[in-house]
Structure 1
Amino acid sequence: MTTTLPAATGFLAAASQDTEIALRPTFAAQGSRTVVRENRGRQHLHIVLLHGAAPDGSLARRGDTAVLLAGELYNQADLHSLLPDGFGASGDADLVLALLDSYGVHAFRLLNGRFAVFAVAGNRALLATDHAGTVPLYVTARPGQVTAATEAKSLAGTSGTGGLAGTRPMYALPGVCQLKAGVVLEIDIVGGMTDVHHTWKPPLGRRILPEADATDLVRDALRRGVRARTGTDTPLVVISGGIDSSSIAALAVEAADGRTIDTLAMGTERHNEFPEAGLVANHLSTRHREIVVSTADLLARLPHTVWAAETTNVDIVEYLLPLTVLYLRADETSRRILTGYGADIPLGGMHREGRLHALETAVSHDMATFDGLNEMTPVLSAVGGHWSTHPFWDREVLDALTSLEAGLKHRHGRDKWVLRTAMADFLPHPTVIRPKLGVHEGSGTTAAFSALLVDAGVPASHLRHAKHLVLQTLFRRVVANGEHPDAVDLADVVDKVAGRQSQSVS
Structure 2
Amino acid sequence: MAEQGLVTTVSSEAGTATVVGWVGSFRDRVAGAHRLLDAFAGAGVVPRPPNGDYAAVLVYRERILLMRDESARIPLFFRQSDGRVSAVSSSARSLGDAEELERRYFCRYLTGNMAQPHTALTPFTGVRRVLGGEVVELSPTGRLHGRIRRPASASGGLPPAAAGDAGPGTAAKELRRALENAVSRRMGTTTACHVSGGLDSTSVALLAARTLTGEGSRHGGLVLLSGRFGSGELAAEQPYLKEAIQEIRRHAPEARPVIVDAGDVADFDDFRHHAGDADEPHAHAFRAPFWSRLHAAASERGCDILLTGCGADPIADTNPFHLHRLARTGRLRGLALQARAWAQGSERGVRDIVHDYVLKPALPLAAERIGMLASPGTVLGGLGAFSRPPWLRSGFARAHGYREAAIAESRFVFGRAPERSLYDAANYLAAPDLLSWHRAREDGYFLSHPFLDQEVIALMRGLPAEATFRPGRPKAVLREAMADLLPARIHHRTVKTPFDQLYVRGLQVHGDDLIGLCRCARHPLVQEMFDVETLCRAVREARLGVGDAYSWDRVNSSLALVMWLEGLLSASP
Task: Give the TM-score, by structure 2 length.
Answer: 0.63
Does residue 475 in structure 1 map to residue 564 in structure 2? yes
Alignment partner, residue 223 of structure 2: 262
Gaps of 5+ in 1: 1-30, 32-49, 81-88, 485-506
Matched length: 416
Kept after mapping to 1: 8 A contact 2:276/2:565:
no
How far, CA to CA, are the matches of 1:302 and 1:161 in structure 2?
22
Q: 1:70 aligns with which of 20, 27, 30?
A: 20
CA distance 1:95–1:288, shift in 2 (3 Å): same
Q: 2:260 aligns with which of 291, 304, 308?
A: 291
Q: Which segment drifts farther, 274-283 or 331-340? A: 331-340
| TM-superposition CA deviations, 1:318-370 (whole Å, max 9, x none) | 56653233112334243121111122232358979658986797764442335
Q: How does 1:19-418 map to 2 (within 5 A)?
A: 31=1, 50-53=2-5, 57-62=8-13, 65-74=15-24, 90-102=30-42, 104-107=44-47, 109=48, 111-122=50-61, 124-143=63-82, 144-157=84-97, 168-171=120-123, 173-188=124-139, 190=141, 192-199=143-150, 201=152, 203=154, 207-208=163-164, 209-230=166-187, 233-257=189-213, 261-268=222-229, 270=232, 271-272=234-235, 273-285=237-249, 286-296=255-265, 298-303=267-272, 305-306=274-275, 310=279, 312=281, 314=283, 316-317=284-285, 322-335=290-303, 336-348=305-317, 354=345, 364-370=420-426, 375-377=432-434, 378-379=436-437, 382=440, 383-418=442-477
- How far residue 51 of structure 1 moved from its aligned partner, in angstroms, is 3.8
3-state SS of paired residue (1:58): strand
How far, CA to CA, are the matches of 1:160 and 1:66 in structure 2?
33
Alignment partner, residue 11 of structure 1: none
- How far residue 483 of structure 1 moved from its aligned partner, in angstroms, is 4.1
Kept after mapping to 2: 8 A contact 1:265/1:274:
no
Kept after mapping to 2: 8 A contact 1:295/1:448:
no
**Letter matched to residue 52 of structure 1:** Q
Q: Which segment drifts farther, 200-209 or 390-399? A: 200-209
- How far residue 104 of structure 1 moved from its aligned partner, in angstroms, is 5.0
- How far residue 415 of structure 1 moved from its aligned partner, in angstroms, is 0.9
Kept after mapping to 2: 8 A contact 1:348/1:363:
no
3-state SS of paired residue (2:447): strand
Kept after mapping to 1: 8 A contact 2:182/2:456:
yes
Q: How does 1:1-20 map to 2 (within 5 A)?
A: none
Alignment partner, residue 459 of structure 1: 541
**Letter matched to residue 148 of structure 1:** V
Gaps of 5+ in 2: 106-117, 215-219, 250-254, 321-341, 362-417, 516-536
Kept after mapping to 1: 8 A contact 2:120/2:128:
yes
- How far residue 125 of structure 1 moved from its aligned partner, in angstroms, is 3.0
How far, CA to CA, are the matches of 2:428 and 2:171 in structure 1?
30
**Letter matched to residue 499 of structure 2:** G
Alignment partner, residue 38 of structure 1: none
**Letter matched to residue 401 of structure 1:** M
- How far residue 309 of structure 1 moved from its aligned partner, in angstroms, is 6.5
**Letter matched to residue 114 of structure 1:** D
CA distance 1:110–1:156, shift in 2 (3 Å): closer
Q: 1:444 aligns with which of 480, 501, 515?
A: 501
Kept after mapping to 1: 8 A contact 2:315/2:452:
no
Q: CA RMSD in A?
A: 3.9
* Bigger proportion of residues as helix: 2
3-state SS of paired residue (2:456): helix
Kept after mapping to 2: 8 A contact 1:359/1:406:
no
3-state SS of paired residue (1:69): strand
Task: Give the TM-score, by structure 1 length.
Answer: 0.70
3-state SS of paired residue (2:40): helix
- How far residue 192 of structure 1 moved from its aligned partner, in angstroms, is 3.8
Q: Which has the higher contact order (CA 8 A, sep 6+)?
A: 2
How far, CA to CA, are the matches of 1:76 and 1:126 in structure 2?
22
CA distance 1:234–1:121, shift in 2 (3 Å): closer
Kept after mapping to 1: 8 A contact 2:19/2:57:
yes
How far, CA to CA, are the matches of 1:306 and 1:141 in structure 2?
27
CA distance 1:475–1:234, shift in 2 (3 Å): same
- How far residue 75 of structure 1 moved from its aligned partner, in angstroms, is 5.5
How far, CA to CA, are the matches of 1:125 and 1:160 in structure 2?
27
Does residue 425 in structure 1 map to residue 484 in structure 2? yes
The percent of aligned pairs where both chains have the same amino acid is 21
Larger radius of gyration: 2
- How far residue 267 of structure 1 moved from its aligned partner, in angstroms, is 4.1
- How far residue 297 of structure 1 moved from its aligned partner, in angstroms, is 5.8
How far, CA to CA, are the matches of 1:416 and 1:339 in structure 2?
17
How far, CA to CA, are the matches of 2:282 and 2:79 in structure 1?
23
**Letter matched to residue 182 of structure 2:** G
3-state SS of paired residue (2:310): coil
How far, CA to CA, are the matches of 2:561 and 2:95 in structure 1?
18
How far, CA to CA, are the matches of 2:89 and 2:298 in structure 1?
26
3-state SS of paired residue (1:120): strand
3-state SS of paired residue (1:418): helix
3-state SS of paired residue (1:170): coil
CA distance 1:483–1:349, shift in 2 (3 Å): farther
Kept after mapping to 2: 8 A contact 1:178/1:372:
no
How far, CA to CA, are the matches of 1:424 and 1:68 in structure 2?
41
* Bigger proportion of residues as strand: 1
Kept after mapping to 1: 8 A contact 2:200/2:312:
yes
